[in-house]
Structure 1
């Protein structure tokens, strides 16, 4: 899941999560802050070691957070998961100011760094529909008659050829429209021939499961097979954070 999370929360979640918004879409100035960090780290005569130390701290922490399985674009703003990154914002703001102050000393270097970082965000993890037996990162199901919280935190399960997966722990199900919800793999790809069950009565849940997940409204005994199955494919294109293109999505009510 790290590949999908690493691109979606930062740059362009729209293809996978219609109601998600990436960090760069909300705060595009972060690109210039990152450029300032790299610029100060490589510029002779500046505060190189200070920039390198701060940069390493940001890199290690950011990488750790992107490995957090519950960090999905759908919850970045809805559930305030952005607070995991809030201490990083002042650091990027600082390097943005330093970049604006010092770039005149090496404008070509500053421009090159900025262009490289912007182009890096054009690398996108795009959903590609696959057959019923191919590994899939995301499944689309018909949504039961239940509210957002009941579906998002529901004690549901998906059985596939590799065994049972539990919502929240092994995959995350997210309502994305009036008639659909997606199941996003967290620990492993879905292995094919999936069957979703609204009640996971035959699946063991950890004894430490918080009551917050236990007390969601019952969404019935519905079962279903996926309407669509998507794998991740790396592509190159203009991300929606640039606002040069619309944030297109693969998820519809069809």
Structure 2
């Protein structure tokens, strides 16, 4: 398990980043269009503090978060525990059966939604128990992530959807910053990898939209090394930036 330097160390600032990114929830709408979420069981792999789980539940899904870092998993469970049960649109569906043996599900599993502690390479769920599996930057993409992809395929029901959101380093202002931060990163090789795995690219043009400059600066500084963050902030005024992403999706 590789620590995530942004959300692990500064979950409060990462919360502000979640609020700034894709404020119209185009990603959620795209996933819903690819596989209707009403009545579906959705697994959010690397859910962090569970920021996106309520949004998926609002679309009618029974949501499960998976998070390897226990402090974040506890925050995600608390977020769901604070959510009024009456706000869900669908009647609860049966819970997926956990796989035998460790890692066991978190005890904070609610009637409609829950949080599991575990890693993508060893999903703590039985075969064919999930309709939609999603991840947002939670699992570094490209060669080396095949064990996690095999696990996703195992837990998905026939006709289930895998949908993974990745940065597009080939376009947008933010994409240029991302490319500068990882000079060895090869976005063309990454796209070739996903296509070999049978995934289709859905390119989305989104943005960070912050309420003030202080928030914008704070989230830039958790995403980039100090020297690059200084250069970005010195040359980019304002409180927003265009942000291109790719939603890689495959129906199993």
TM tier relative to shorter chain = under 0.3
TM-score (norm 2): 0.25
Q: Answer with 1 or 2: which has the greater Rg.
A: 1
Report the structure, 1 or 2, having the larger strand content: 2
TM-score (norm 1): 0.25
